[in-house]
Structure 1
Amino acid sequence: MTPITEVEGRRVALSNLEKVLYPETGFTKGELLHYYATTAGALLPHLRDRAVSFLRYPDGPEGQQFFTKNVPPGTPEWVTTAGVPRSSADAPARMVVVQDLPSLVWAANLVTEFHTHQWLVQSPDEADRLVFDLDPGAPATVVHCCEVALWLRERLAADGIEAYPKTAGSKGLHLLAAVRGGSSERTSEYAKALAVEAERALPRLVVHRMTKSLRPGKVLVDWSQNAARKTTATPYTLRARRAPLVSAPVTWQEVEDCRDPARLDFRADDIAPRLQDLGDLMAPLLDRDRAAPLPAP
């Protein structure tokens, strides 16, 4: 029998709580649900009002993985959904919007990473996030990503934009900033221009194109996730990796001090103490008054 729990007055069916999802550590589905429930205070504000893509891995990271963008079959009627624009020739897609704790627990029971767009469902024509995904090509590591991130931080600051770093939860680093006044297309153009500039400034370290032959030993400054259709791992989401790694916000001091890739590996058990000590390091992204206007083309 599938156990039913009540979350803020909603009945949520849970399943396979003892199933081991991360064999490297023995981390179970029940622990995954506990992680999301106890991290909800920090996670939910970054999900709220954003259509969610789920990367599902119901048999663990070593099993089948697949993205779910449309509303999954069996979604409870109390879970918020929204029409999301696609191309002008297609009808809008219908996607989940995780607005509250019951919806978060229901979605977590599907065993998911949470990925969101860089715009809100009520204003899809305006990007409110700028994102760079810094992806190292071996033998480069997150240590090299940190060096690139520091350059981008200063370059963005010159345009009045404050960036906030988080780990990718795998091998790289993400930079996010709150922006206003531009479409996803305009934001993508700006991000690409900065990626090209970074390559010129740091030619031995940076590449802005995804061509595989260019990437060994360098950091790809991936600007493409600013496109309207793209989504990026949400702060505090677990990732489908060998261990229960988290896409964790970090301080700029941690970025500056990073000399060992392991220093920026954060697991589920690390997040509660960090939130207690540091709070949500990405909370400033939620303050619309702090969003910076994109520079004129």
Structure 2
Amino acid sequence: MTVTEVEGRRLTLTNLDKVIHPATGTTKGELVHHYAVNAGTLLPHLHDRPLSFLRYPDGPGGQRFFTKNVPPGTPGWVKSSEVPRHGDAPARQVLVQDLPSLVWAANLVVEFHTPQWRATEPEQADRLVLDLDPGSPATVVECCVLARWLRDRLAEDGLASYVKTSGSKGLHLLCPLVPAPAAEVSAYARSLAELAAAELPELAVAVMRRAARPGKVFVDWSQNAAAKTTAAPYTLRARESPEVSTPVTWEEVAGCADPRELAFTLADVPDRIAAHGDLLGGLLNAARARPLPAVRRPRA
């Protein structure tokens, strides 16, 4: 157990020598360090967003559980927000607004997942996400082909798109929006997914049925729903290796010929930030936000 002070907050960090990611021998201390040293880039993507945590305190091979409510024992100085729950009483979820809160949460060993809206405007999405999930034997290489096609369709509708690895198998495309009802954003995203499936039937699929996915890329539009969340930028994922959901350039997407080219671990992130800055910085710039386009219709 280590007691430390972070920006005036007293924190107790536990089991820092425990191996969390066995493929590389990555310890909990290294995991906490990743979040601490990259906090300046990560925190703006978490700010004001009610968080869900996927906890994996014994590593990816141990128990994993999703936590939405404020965990027991949360310090009183960690901020939280009331979150609407359809059909139920509102709940409260954690807001990670500063470095002490980030280090506290990292000590729980978590993936960070965020909705597409902020606590200040519940269920009004200020970004759109398309999760490209490849079905074996398709890989992130096929995701890259589809991502470029989707980028062009989004551009036709006036939306700038940014891309990151999921930290697992696929890619996430994100677009900044003037806040709009989550249900309307979902409808637009679904229409775009269905257009992709209609025009690229050998590559894309828009239905959730797993039997339809082998060898294709599922365009998951559903994460735009108000109750859904997506892995945050720069979050570690609960995998054997300490893979991170990492922003990438469109040049890297265009040149990807091997899945290993877009697989990044916590060791890669500082150098990438030093070289590129925050490649998702446009998501945080209100001037880049555009109104939600009309629902896409199949081409004649």
Same fold flag (TM > 0.5)? yes
Query: Which residue in 1 is equivalent to 2:175?
Result: 177
Q: Map 1:230-241 to 2 at 5 A.
A: 230-241=228-239
Matched, 1:281 2:282: no
Identity of paired residues, percent?
63
- Give per-residue Cα distances to partners, 1:246-290, cap 9 Å, x unaligned: 000000000000000000000000000000010000011001121
Indicate conservation of the 8 Å contact 2:188/2:294, yes or no.
no
Query: Which residue in 2 is equivalent to 1:209?
Result: 207
Matches of 2:179 and 2:240, distance apart in 1:
40
Q: Map 1:75-90 to 2 at 5 A.
A: 75-87=74-86, 89-90=87-88
Query: Which residue in 2 is equivalent to 1:93?
Result: 91
Shift of 1:132: 0.4
Matched, 1:263 2:294: no
Query: Which residue in 2 is equivalent to 1:68?
Result: 67
Shift of 1:296: 3.4
- Give per-residue Cα distances to partners, 1:131-156, cap 9 Å, x unaligned: 00000000000000000000000000
> 3-state SS of the aligned residue for 1:292?
coil
> 3-state SS of the aligned residue for 1:146?
helix
Matches of 1:243 and 1:295, distance apart in 2:
39
Matched residue type, 1:158: E
Indicate conservation of the 8 Å contact 1:126/1:180, yes or no.
no
Matches of 1:179 and 1:123, distance apart in 2:
13
> 3-state SS of the aligned residue for 2:112?
strand
Shift of 1:85: 0.6
> 3-state SS of the aligned residue for 1:216?
coil
Shift of 1:182: 1.7
> 3-state SS of the aligned residue for 2:247?
coil
Query: Which residue in 2 is equivalent to 1:6?
Result: 5
Matched residue type, 2:118: L
Shift of 1:38: 0.5
Matches of 1:226 and 1:217, distance apart in 2:
25
Q: Map 1:104-115 to 2 at 5 A.
A: 104-115=102-113
Indicate conservation of the 8 Å contact 2:127/2:179, yes or no.
no
2:134 is matched with which residue: 133, 136, 139? 136
Q: Which runs of 5+ in 2 are unaligned?
A: 296-300
Matches of 1:125 and 1:107, distance apart in 2:
24
Q: Which runs of 5+ in 1 are unaligned?
A: none
> 3-state SS of the aligned residue for 2:270?
helix
Matches of 1:115 and 1:227, distance apart in 2:
14
Indicate conservation of the 8 Å contact 1:118/1:129, yes or no.
yes
TM-score (norm 2): 0.97
Shift of 1:129: 1.0
* Cα-Cα RMSD: 0.7
- Give per-residue Cα distances to partners, 1:145-181, cap 9 Å, x unaligned: 0000000000000000011000010110000110114
Query: Which residue in 1 is equivalent to 2:298?
Result: none
> 3-state SS of the aligned residue for 2:103?
helix
Matches of 2:165 and 2:175, distance apart in 1:
15
Matched residue type, 1:54: F
- Give per-residue Cα distances to partners, 1:170-218, cap 9 Å, x unaligned: 1100001101142000000000000000011100000000111110000
